[in-house]
Amino acid sequence: MTAASASPAPSAQPATASTDDAHTDQVLYEVEHHIATLTLNRPDRQNTITRPMLAALSQRLVQANADPQVRVIIVTGAGRFFCAGLDLRGGSGIGEGPMKPTLDLREAPPTVLHNLDKPTICAHNGSSAGYGMDLALGCDIRIMSADSKMAAAFTARGVVPESGGTWILPRLIGWSKACELIFTGRTLSAEQCVAMGLASQAVPADQCLAVARALAAEIAGNAPLAVQAAKRMMRMSADEHFDDHVHHVYLQLLPLFQTQDFKEGMQAFMERRAAKFEGR
């Protein structure tokens, strides 16, 4: 909790949604070409997250997951930081009064993010710490700005990775490395993050979002129902025995055989052309 820190149309048009939340401008939302981009928008405060932002972020994630136009979700930050954690200063609504969860944990961003069917990419445009690091790790894929860092400074602040880090890190980098990182509270460079498997690649700062969007477009070009089913199966595999998992994969496969996208994929393969998937 570190501070510092129907079916899709052939081409979706840019759209910015609005809500009744007075802080909705702190989490920007845009959909273009089947890609939803959520931008943490407090650059003057290093994109630290306030209580209203927690609710807005969950709302936007749910909105993107339910939108048939959206096939991939990108989470990024405005300015030089991705997210420097929760805002514990007065007026944020987080550091005031008794320490207690700001949301029903089932509706909190880490839980919502983990349960999304649609692929998520973190365009880690700048450094992250605490909650911001957990938010980045909660995404399926991370593209890091080469000059950005991840600071696991939880224990240095007297807390634990409360936003999913204790579950995610051992699964990403193994028990020993996860313990070393969490117990020491170290700050990692982008190069170290890539070497440890915390990020897919490090790119020049001015290319971070563009690279994330190019990857999102590549994913969005595949059959969205199949992509989402594959993500569900990988998520379930973390808690299943092999035999049970293979059975569940088979149950996911049967309805996919009945989709128009399956027919289109097979036809495109036979005709040696690019498939045009509609998500149905």
Assigned CATH topology for domain 224-271: Lyase 2-enoyl-coa Hydratase; Chain  A, domain 2 (1.10.12)
Q: At what angle do helices 175-184 and 165-173 cross, to 10 degrees?
A: 130
Round to whole Å and give the CA distance between 233 and 261. 19
Round to whole Å and give the CA distance between 229 and 272. 25
Radius of gyration from C-alpha coordinates of the chain: 19
Q: How far is CA 96 from the centre of its chain?
A: 28
Task: Give the list of residues 6+ apart from residue 174 with CB closer than 8 angstroms, or none.
Answer: none
Round to whole Å and give the CA distance between 125 and 157. 24
Assigned CATH topology for domain 24-220: 2-enoyl-CoA Hydratase; Chain A, domain 1 (3.90.226)
264-268: list long-range contacts, CB under 8 Å, 24+ apart: 264/223, 265/223
**8 A C-beta contact, residue 182 and residue 155:** yes
**8 A C-beta contact, residue 162 and residue 190:** no
**8 A C-beta contact, residue 69 and residue 34:** yes
| Annotated domain spans of the chain | 24-220, 224-271
Question: What is the residue-level pLDDT of the chain in tens, covering all 280 positions?
Answer: 333 333 333 333 334 444 344 445 999 999 999 999 999 999 999 999 998 999 999 999 999 999 999 999 999 999 999 999 988 775 545 444 434 544 566 678 888 999 999 999 999 999 999 899 999 999 999 999 999 999 988 877 777 777 788 899 999 999 999 999 999 989 999 999 999 999 999 999 999 999 999 999 999 999 999 999 999 999 988 888 899 888 888 898 899 999 999 998 999 899 998 999 998 9
Round to whole Å and give the CA distance between 204 and 206. 6
Environment class of 25 (CB within 10 Å of its CB; exposed 0-12, middle 13-18, buried 19+):
exposed
